[in-house]
Amino acid sequence: MKYNKLFVYGLASVSAVGLSSCEDAYNIRQAGEKNNANEVYNTIVDFERGLNGVYELISTEKTIEFTAIFTDEVAIGVNNGGQGLGDGQYQFQLTSGSDAAASIWQSNYIMINFANRLMAQRDRVKANIDAKYADYTEEDTVKWGEYQSELQRLNDVMAQLYAIRAFGHFQLLSWFSTDPSNPDALGVMKLDFFPEFNDYSTFLPRVKNSEIYTLIDSDLEKATTFFADGAGTTDVTRVSPNFITALKARMALYRKDYTTAASLSQSLIGNYSSALQKTADAYSQIVTDASANESIFRLARVLGDFQIGSYWASARSSLAGSPFFEVSRSLYDAFKETPSDIRAAGENLIDASSVVSDNPDGEADYVNSDILVINRYPGNSAQGDPLLNDIKVFSMGEMYLIRAEALANLGQLNGVSNSNVNKTTVQDVMRSLRRARFAQASYANRAYTDITDALSDIQDERRKELAFAGHRYLDIKRLGPVTGKSVDRYYRDCQPYSACDLSATSYKFTLPIPNTEITANPSIRGQQNPNY
Tens-of-pLDDT digits for all 532 residues of the chain? 233 333 344 444 333 222 333 333 333 333 333 445 566 899 999 999 999 999 999 999 999 999 999 999 999 999 999 999 999 999 999 999 999 999 999 999 999 999 999 999 999 999 999 999 999 988 999 999 999 999 999 999 999 999 999 999 999 999 999 999 999 999 999 999 987 655 555 689 999 999 999 999 999 999 999 997 656 678 999 999 999 999 999 999 999 999 999 999 999 998 876 689 999 999 999 999 999 999 999 999 999 999 999 999 999 999 999 999 999 999 999 998 877 899 999 999 999 999 999 999 999 999 999 999 999 999 987 888 999 999 999 999 999 999 999 999 999 999 987 666 688 999 999 999 999 999 887 777 889 999 999 999 999 999 999 999 999 999 999 999 999 999 999 999 999 999 999 999 999 999 999 999 999 999 999 999 999 9
Give strand pairing partners of 299.
391
Exposure letters 496-513 (e unless 16+ CB within 10 A, then b): ebebeebebebebbbbbb
Task: Compute the distance between CA of residue 372 and CA of residue 354 in angstroms, rounded to an integer.
Answer: 5
**Max alpha carbon distance in the chain (Å)?**
84
SS3 state of residue 10: coil
Handedness of CA 289, 291, 295, 299 (dihedral sign): positive
Closest CA to 480 of 489, 488, 492: 488
pTM beyond 0.85, yes or no: yes
DSSP 3-state percent helix, strand, coil across the chain (nearest 5)? 45, 5, 45
Counting DSSP H helices and E strands in the chain, the numbers are 18, 6
Quote the Cα angle for 119-124-127, to 5°.
Answer: 130
Contact 313, 324 (CB under 8 A): yes
Contact 110, 56 (CB under 8 A): no
Alpha-carbon separation of residue 291 from 316, 367, 382, 489 (angstroms): 21, 35, 12, 32
